[in-house]
Structure 1
Amino acid sequence: MTPEPFSPPGTDESMAGPPPGCPAHGIGPGGARRLYGPEAEDLGAVYEKLRAEHGTVAPALLHEDVPMWVVLGHSENLHMVSSPSLYSRDNRLWTALQDGTIKPDHPLMPHMAWQPICCFAEGDEHLRLRGAVTGAMSTIDHRGIRRHINRATQHLVNKFCEEGRADLVGQFAEHLPMAVMCEILGMPEEYNDRIVQAARDMLKGTETAIASNAYIMDTLTRLTARRRAEPEDDFTSHLINHPAGLTDEEVGQHLRVVLIVAFESTANLLANVLRVVLTDPGFRAQLNGGQMTVPQAVEQSLWDEPPFSTILGYFAKQDTELGGQRIRQGDGLLLGIAPGNVDPRVRPDPSANMMGNRSHLAFSGGPHECPGQDIGRAIADVGVDALLSRLPDVQLACEEDELRWRASISNRHLVELPVYFEPKPQQDVKALPGHAPVPSQRKDWQIGTMQSEPPAAAPKPQPAAPPRQAAPAPAEPARPKGAWRRFRLWWRGY
Structure 2
Amino acid sequence: MTAAPRRPRTETPPEYPGRPDRPGHSGRSRHVPLYGPGLDGDGLPALYERLRAEHGPVAPVALAPGVHAWLVMGYEELLRVARRERDFSHDPRHWRLLREGRVPADSPLLAFLGWRPALMFADGRRHRRMRSAVADTLGRVDGGELGRLVRDTADRLIDAFAGRGEADLVPHYAHRLPARVVTRLLGADEPVSRKLAEAVAGTAAANADSVHAGRRLERVLLALVREKRRAPGPDVTSWLLTHPASLREEEVLHNLAVTVVAAHQTTKNWIATTLRLLLTDPALRSSLDGGYLTLDEALDLVLWRFPPTQNLPGRYALRDVRLGRREVRAGDMLVLGLAAAGRDPRVLPACGRPVTGNRAHVAFGAGPHACPAQAQARLIARTAVEVLRRRLPGLRLAVPEERLAWASSPWTRGLAALPVRLAP
TM over 0.5: yes
Q: How far 1:197 sits from its partner (Å)?
A: 3.0
- 2:422 aligns with 421
**Equivalent in the alignment of 1:437:** none
**Structure 1 partner of 2:35:** 36
The residue type equivalent to 2:22 in the other structure is: F
- CA-atom RMSD in angstroms: 2.2
Corresponding residue of 1:363 = 364
Q: Give the structure 2 partner of residue 199 of structure 1.
A: 200
Determine if contact 1:5/1:32 at 8 Å carries over to the other structure.
no
On the 8 A contact 1:3/1:67 being kept in 2, the answer is no
Question: Per the alignment, in what secondary structure is the counterpart of residue 68 of structure 1?
Answer: strand
Partner of 1:452: none
Contact (CA 8 Å) 1:320, 1:328: kept in 2 or not?
Answer: yes
Which shows bigger deviation, 391-400 or 224-233? 224-233
- 1:161 aligned partner, one-letter code: A
Paired amino acid for 1:104: A
- Distance (Å, rounded) in 1 between the aligned partners of 2:377 and 2:201: 17
Partner residue, 1:6: 22
| Structure 2 CA distance for aligned equivalents of residues 190 and 142 of structure 1 | 25
CA distance in 1, matches of 2:79, 2:341: 9
Distance 1:161 1:195 in 2: 26
Q: Displacement, 1:248? A: 1.7
Give the Cα–Cα distance (whole angstroms) in 2 for the partners of residues 267 and 373 of structure 1.
14
1:310 is the counterpart of 2:311: yes
1:69 aligns with 2:61: no
1:3·1:69 contact (CA, 8 Å) conserved in 2? no
Aligned residue number for residue 412 of structure 1: 413
**Letter aligned with residue 35 of structure 1:** L
Q: Which stretch has the larger CA shift, 292-301 or 321-330?
A: 321-330
Q: What's the TM-score, normalizing by structure 2?
A: 0.90
Bigger radius of gyration among the two = 1
1:53 shift after superposition: 1.8
Task: Give the gaps of 5 or more residues in structure 1.
Answer: 14-19, 21-28, 424-494
Deviation, 1:2, is 3.6
Secondary structure, counterpart of 1:405 in structure 2: coil
Among all aligned residue pairs of Structure 1 and Structure 2, give the percentage whose two residues are the same amino acid.
36
Q: CA deviation at 1:163?
A: 1.1
Matched to 1:174, the amino acid is H
After TM superposition, give the deviation of residue 214 of structure 1 in Å.
4.2
Aligned residue number for residue 447 of structure 1: none
| Structure with greater contact order relative to length (CA < 8 Å, sep ≥ 6) | 2
Match of 1:223 in 2: 224
8 Å contact kept, 1:316–1:331: yes
Change (3 A) 1:214 1:390: same
Partners of 1:398 and 1:175 in 2: CA distance: 22
| CA distance in structure 1 between the partners assigned to 2:212 and 2:101 by the alignment | 27
Say if 1:182 and 1:190, in contact at 8 Å, map to a contact too: no
Number of paired residues?
406
Which amino acid is 1:218 matched to? R
Question: Aligned residue for 1:189?
Answer: 190
8 Å CA contact 1:310–1:338 kept in 2: the answer is: yes
- 1:117 maps to 118
Deviation at 1:30, TM superposition (A): 2.7
Tell me, yes or no, if the aligned pair for 2:183 and 2:196 is still in contact at 8 Å: no
Structure 2 letter corresponding to 1:36: Y
CA 1:215/1:283 → structure 2, altered by over 3 Å: closer, same or farther? same
Q: Which ranges in structure 2 are unaligned for 5 or more consecutive residues?
A: 1-16
Change (3 A) 1:422 1:133: same
Residue aligning to 1:266: 267
| Amino acid in the other structure paired with 1:65 | G
Q: C-alpha separation between the residues in 2 aligned to 1:370 and 1:318?
A: 26
- Shift in Å, 1:334: 0.9
Counterpart code for 1:57? V
1:327 counterpart residue number: 328
- Taking structure 1 as the reference length, what is the TM-score of the superposition? 0.78
Equivalent residue letter for 2:174: A
Say which is worse superposed, 39-48 or 107-116, in terms of deviation.
39-48
Q: CA deviation at 1:272?
A: 0.3
Aligned-pair CA distance for 1:237: 1.3
CA gap of 1:162–1:349, structure 2 versus 1, over 3 A, is farther
Q: SS of the counterpart of 1:69?
A: strand
Residues in 2 aligned to 1:217 and 1:40: alpha-carbon distance in whole angstroms: 29
Q: Is the 8 A contact 2:108 2:208 kept in 1?
A: no
Q: Does 1:175 align with 2:176?
A: yes
The CA distance in 2 between the partners of 1:235 and 1:168, in whole Å, is 28
Equivalent residue, structure 2, for 1:388: 389
Q: Work out whether residues 179 and 188 of structure 1, in 8 Å CA contact, stay in contact via their aligned partners in 2.
A: no
Aligned runs of 1:88-237 on 2, under 5 Å? 88-190=89-191, 193-206=194-207, 209=210, 212-237=213-238
How far did 1:347 drift? 0.9
Which residue type is aligned with residue 259 of structure 1? Answer: V
Amino acid at match of 1:364: G
Shift in Å, 1:322: 1.4
